[in-house]
Amino acid sequence: MAQATVTTTNLTPSPRAGLETPKRAPKQAQNSPLVSLIAGATAGAVEASITYPFEFIKTRSQLRSNGQSAGKSPLSVLRSTIAQDGLFAIYTGCGSLVAGTALKASVRFFTYDSIKQMLSDDRGKLSPARGILAGMAAGAVESAVAVTPTERIKTALIDDAKGARRFKGTTHAIGLLVREQGIQGIYRGLLSTTIKQSATSAVRMGSYNVLRTEYQERLGAPQAVGTFAIGAVAGTITVYATQPFDTLKTRAQGAQGEGMLVAARSILLDDGFKGFWRGSTMRLGRLVMSGGIVFTIYEQVAAQLRGLKW
């Protein structure tokens, strides 16, 4: 008697036609502390070197001249500076800012990436609120470690160059300020700088995080051009949201130095409420370029470093 052949079939239900498992956004790459430090320092140094003339003109326009508000347009400041002291005068204080920017950018990205990894979900994604929180913390740390002393020296050099010319250079300025005012003279404007830096970093890093996440989910990981555009938009948002903090910080860090309340009062007396936005045009020019440059270089250098075997 012949045996009956039984054909077994796969009883596992197959997905219905036309239905696919939703794709999850790729997990965002995480940077090690060393990668964050090196990539941040490189990005900061390059960005500061390229955009320094914008910073010089912005700072000069915010400072008083012989006790009075300068009241000059950015082009007037540029023309008068070149006419009086030559083209290279617009790089007065540049060395201090480049060194300081390299340090502060490395500290900023190290702090931001460290906090980001603690607050991110399993795909490395950071919510807008947590992105702002991480940026605020990064700004506070970089202010205390690097920004306040380097910005103080840069601002004092620019302020001194238009009048008394007591300072012969960065080293001489540091020594003279310490002798006359003590170590606190180098940290003049710490409170206003920390407020400004925390707000700036929170807006800048927070908006960049949101824009980059949206871009990556819709179009994939951004290349250099996309990163530059995202960084430029983040820079634009940052300028108008935080300019009053920057103007207040500059007044507090002039050659003589002013308390924060005195600086705020002098701005109001000189130019009224709109005076808090003095220098925003040149800062916009710098931060649009700065945002594009620093994030592009940071992402490119970090990507190269992640591919190395340490």
- The answer to whether position 244 is within a domain reads yes
- Which pLDDT does position 28 carry in this prediction? 63
Is residue 186 assigned to a domain?
Answer: yes
In a domain, 28, yes or no: no
* Confidence at residue 34, expressed as pLDDT on a 0 to 100 scale: 92
Residue 11 in domain: no
Q: How many structural domains is the chain composed of?
A: 1
CATH number at residue 284: 1.50.40.10
φ and ψ at residue 68, rounded to 5 degrees: -120, 155
- Would residue 18 count as lying in a domain? no
* Rounded CA separation 132/130 (Å): 5
pLDDT of residue 80: 85
Per-residue pLDDT of the chain (310 residues; tens, 9 = 90+): 444 444 444 454 544 444 444 445 555 667 888 999 999 999 999 999 998 888 888 888 777 665 555 556 778 888 888 888 888 888 887 887 788 889 989 999 999 999 988 888 877 788 889 989 999 999 999 898 888 888 888 888 888 877 767 888 888 888 988 998 888 888 888 888 898 889 989 999 999 999 998 998 899 889 999 999 999 999 899 988 888 888 888 777 776 666 778 888 888 888 888 888 887 887 887 788 888 999 999 999 999 998 886 5
Sign of the alpha-carbon torsion through 199, 201, 207, 210: negative
| 111 lies in some domain | yes
Question: Any residues with CB less than 8 A from the CB of 19 and at least 6 apart, and which?
Answer: none
3 falls within a domain: no
Beta bridge partners of 65: 68
Contact of 200 with 280, CB cutoff 8 Å: no
**CA–CA distance from 71 to each of 16, 67, 142, 223, 279 (Å)?**
71, 12, 31, 42, 10
Residue-number span of the structural domain to which 224 is assigned: 33-64+71-306
Tally of CB atoms within 10 A around 282:
26
Cα 32 to Cα 150: distance, rounded to the nearest angstrom: 26
CA-CA-CA-CA torsion sign (296, 298, 301, 302) = negative
In this prediction, residue 284 carries a pLDDT of 84
Residue 206 inside a domain? The answer is: yes
